[in-house]
Amino acid sequence: MDNKLEMAITQTHISTLQNIIARLSNYSMSCKTWAVTIVSALCVVIFDPQKITYFYIIIIPISIFWLFDCYYLGLEKTFREIYIEFLVKIKNNDTNICDDMKIVLKGKRLINFLKALISISTTPLYFALAIIVFLLFIILRTNGC
């Protein structure tokens, strides 16, 4: 095959991987944004004196967005590993057209997800949201609501 064509395919493959990683990063950021927004809105609605007993419902969106965020971060880590592995193959002149034409999700997807559960970019935010909700509940309960 023509060397220029192989180079173009390789560059497209690298660009595709970079775009996937960027999208997953944006999805993760969107999870954080939506979590804060929805939890804030639920706090306004549920911390009404008549509805205060339903405060535990707020934990559901916190948990769901935390899991989605960790899922996206785990996938991002997996694609970063694929990206780095591909760059090493290029450096060693060990690529072929089959490597450039497909992206196979292999590796430690579950391990990357579990690492994201305790990541510095996810855990503090979602625990802080849960603690704030709990503290608001305690404050409102002690004030006679």
Residue 76 contacts residue 108 (beta carbons within 8 Å)? no
Specify the pLDDT at position 123: 93
Q: What is the mean pLDDT of each run of 10 residues along the chain (145 residues)?
A: 76 90 95 95 79 81 96 95 88 73 78 93 94 88 70
- Inter-axis angle of helices 59-91 and 109-117, to 10 degrees? 130
Specify the pLDDT at position 92: 86
Residue 117 contacts residue 69 (beta carbons within 8 Å)? no
DSSP 8-class letter at 55 = G
Specify the pLDDT at position 100: 62
User: Would you state the structure tokens that stand for residue 97, as one six-digit string?
Assistant: 């057209």
Specify the pLDDT at position 65: 97
Specify the pLDDT at position 95: 73
Residues 98, 9: Cα–Cα separation, whole Å: 10
Taking CA atoms, 87 is separated from 4, 11, 76, 108, 134, in Å, by 18, 11, 16, 19, 47
Specify the pLDDT at position 43: 85
Residues 114, 14: Cα–Cα separation, whole Å: 27
Specify the pLDDT at position 1: 54
> With b meaning 16 or more CB within 10 Å and e meaning fewer, what string describes 27-44?
bbeebbeebbebbeebbe
Specify the pLDDT at position 17: 92
Give the dihedral sign, CA 24/121/106/1: positive
